[in-house]
Amino acid sequence: MLLNFDRLGWWKYVLLVITVLTAAFLLMPILFIAALSFGSSQWLIFPPPGWTWRWYAELLSDPQWLASAWTSFKIASIVTVLSVLLGLVTSFGLVRGKFLFRDALKALFLTPMILPVVVFAVALYAFFLRVGLGGTLIGFVLSHLVLALPFSILSIAGALEGFDKSIEDAAVLCGASPIEAKIRVTLPAISHGLFSAAVFSFLTSWDEVVVAIFMASPTLQTLPVKVWATLRQDLTPVVAAASTLLILLTVMLMTLAAIVRKVLKS
Amino acid sequence: MSESFLKIQGIRKEYGPVVAVHDVNLEVRRGEFLTFLGPSGSGKSTTLYILAGFENPTKGDILLNGKTLLSTPSHKRNIGMVFQRYTLFPHLTVGENIAFPLKVRRQSKAEIDSRVREMLRLVRLEGFEDRKPAQMSGGQQQRVALARALAYDPPVLLMDEPLSALDKKLREEIQHEIRRIHQQTEVTILYVTHDQEEALRLSDRIAVFSKGVIDQIGTGPELYANPRTRFVAEFIGDSDFISCHLLSSNNGQATISLGGKTVFDSIPVHGRPTSGSKAALMLRPERIRLGRNAGAGNGLSATVNDITFLGNNVHVTTRIAVGETLSVRLPFGHEAISGLSRGDNVHLEFDPDAAHVFC
């Protein structure tokens, strides 16, 4: 091998230091916010003078926080279902279809991943105002769906490309109609892709803030928007508590996803 | 066997400007093991896929028991198929895989269970029903695929190079299994392969495909002894071709000359013989006699170029007077070889009916 780790000599230690620093750089803000959420100081002083559960109690007894968490969950769930369904049919078209500009079409479907989110948010905002979808649940779902769909298409199309179509053909010759063969054979075989698509779609919507700020109304706001708005009004440790819970949920979801994916793939 | 069971009539398949299958006509008897043999791109797999219903022919018809198959979608054709690649359903066990076509047909659980057991016995995989495909070897997977394809008693079983992913030893083992299962079930099998040995070992009849048409159809010995085209002669068995001139032909038999000197007559001729034109004389290495002195039959003098020991056979490459090479294969220990060495002058002889002329 060109680059053998064991033969790097003292470079090994340089690499080790760089790796540790990178990991610290990524983890520190998260650990910092978690520490602050348990700090007794009203003013987010670090290191905290004492420890308390008070901000969590306040968070969980505030109907506004609970309402925005529920809104986030509702939107993310609907987005997940729609994104997986649309991603599935789109992937079938992109992977199995034989038509002109197929690759161009695939690239088009992935543009929301690279397009600056704020540009997209402004465009949607202007459009939704005009058609009366601004500040509505449908508006939220549609805009998050656009952001989530590329992840869905990538996961499902990837799984479908790795699935030998002969297996589906075999099911058809066994007497299953083309639809039945897809439901009973192809879908279980690409279930790891479907699951990844669901997790990515949920998380895309769950922690999306830019588009959500444009979409939000006083009566309908998602958790990240609530965090952002609260931060602007007063700097309370409740925000740190909310953020910590958000992170915790994300980590739990990702861990679960990793385990399930491993089980599904084997 | 009075009326033909499966009839392929004038099948043609075009993909845009590319013609994959030109004009395939074939009659298959009930219970027959018929192999489509040919190189890749000869149209054999496309023909099989048209039978399965995955492709629609541009022209032509397929009749099963006198009724067209083309208007029936794949899943209602009731045809069995074993694919080149492993196609067991990965999330189902071996037993569930074999049960799949029966479940789709809404059979009762008791019926399904006994049929699955019967099929596992047929392919000699009893006790494997709870395994997942990933836990089985390639050969075992193809046997399960065979059991699944036969579970619903299809009138026709299609096999598309099912053994090409296996190594040689395993391949021969499963060839025996397939032969036994064919005899036991009496199912009609259409088998695609590019391996002549496999075709000869398995088939009742072989259809040799070349460039989208069937060049010749017949039993293995027929194709070997009486190839009608140069392609078939090359594809079945070993052969050497020597350029010659056609002097005259009559009743399918030709008189030819080699290098303007040596003249042979009464040799079977194929193609469109025109007197005076160039042709090719085909000889099989194992049907040439080698000796030190000229004998009574058709003879050629030659010089030994090389001697190769191949176990049970010895392969002698010679250069004949006109400058072309001709191979002779003799059994090991044959008296003609003892003391033979490179550069020796020898005499080659063949019977007229062991040679063919292609125009």
Q: Sorting pLDDT into bands at 50, 70 and 90, what band is B2?
A: very low
Say yes or no for a CB contact (<8 Å) between A167 and B80.
no
Each residue's pLDDT tens digit, A116-169: 999 999 999 999 999 988 889 999 999 999 999 999 999 999 999 999 999 999
pLDDT at position B3 is 61
- Chain A window 78-137: which residues touch B at a Cβ cutoff of 8 Å? none
More confident residue, B165 or B75: B75
Residue of B nearest to A173 (CA): B75
- Residues 206-235 in A contacting B (C-alpha not used; CB under 8 Å): none
d(CA A194, CA A213): 29
Residues with Cβ within 8 Å of residue B198, at least 6 apart in sequence: B35, B163, B171, B175
Which residues pair with residue B26 across a beta bridge? Answer: B8
Instruction: Report the C-alpha dihedral over residues A245, A251, A254, A255, rounded to 10 degrees.
Output: -120
Q: Determine the residue among B15, B74, B96, B102 to mutate to test chain A binding: the one whose Cβ has the most chain A Cβ atoms within 10 Å.
A: B74
On whether the CB atoms of residues B97 and B88 are closer than 8 A, the answer is: yes
What are B109-125's pLDDT values in tens digits?
999 999 999 999 999 99
Nearest C-alpha in B relative to A177: B75
Contact check, Cβ <8 Å, B84/A189: no
Contact B30, B3 (CB under 8 A): no
Closest Cβ opposite residue B85 in set A164, A178, A184: A164
CB spacing of B87 vs A174 below 8 angstroms: no
Task: Output the pLDDT for position A46.
Answer: 80
Residue from B44, B64, B62 nearest B3 by CA: B64
Instruction: Provide, as residue numbers in chain B, all residues whose Cβ is less than 8 Å from the Cβ of A188.
Output: 89, 91
ipTM over 0.90: no
- The pLDDT, as a whole number, for residue B311 is 86
Q: How far is B134 from chain A (nearest CA, A)?
A: 9
Q: Is A189 on the interface with B (CB under 8 A)?
A: yes
Q: Convert B15-53 to b/e letters by CB count within 10 Å (16 or more is b).
A: eeeeebbbebebebeeebbbbbbbeeebbbbbbbbbbbb
Of B76, B87, B105, the CB nearest to A170: B87
């008791």: which residue's tokens? B110
pLDDT tens digits for range A240-259? 999 999 889 889 988 988 88
Q: Which residue has the higher pLDDT, B3 or A224?
A: A224
Check pLDDT > 50 for residue A236. Answer: yes
**pLDDT recorded at residue A2:** 64
Contacts with B91 from chain A: Cβ below 8 Å = 188-189, 191
pLDDT at position B351 is 86
Which residues, 6 or more positions from A174, have their beta carbon under 8 angstroms from its beta carbon?
Answer: B75, B100, B101, B104, B148, B149, B152
pLDDT at position A66: 93
CA-based nearest distance A165→chain B, Å: 9
State which residue of chain A sits closest to B160, comparing Cα positions.
A166
Q: Does the beta-carbon distance from B87 to A185 stay under 8 Å?
A: no
Q: Residue A27, exposed/middle/buried by CB under 10 A (0-12, 13-18, 19+)?
A: exposed
Q: pLDDT band for position B333 (50/70/90)?
A: confident
Q: Is residue B276 predicted with pLDDT exceeding 90?
A: no
What whole-number distance in Å separates Cα of residue B119 and Cα of residue B143? 10
Whether B297 has a pLDDT exceeding 60, the answer reads yes
State yes or no: pLDDT of B271 exceeds 50: yes
pLDDT of residue B261: 74
More confident residue, A190 or B322: A190
pLDDT confidence of residue B1 = 45
Q: Rounded to two decimals, what is the model's pTM?
A: 0.83
Contact flag B100-A181 (C-beta cutoff 8 Å): no
How far apart CA B175 and CA B196 sit, in angstroms, is: 13
Nearest chain A CA: its distance from B102 CA (Å): 8
Q: What is the mean pLDDT of residues A23-35?
A: 92
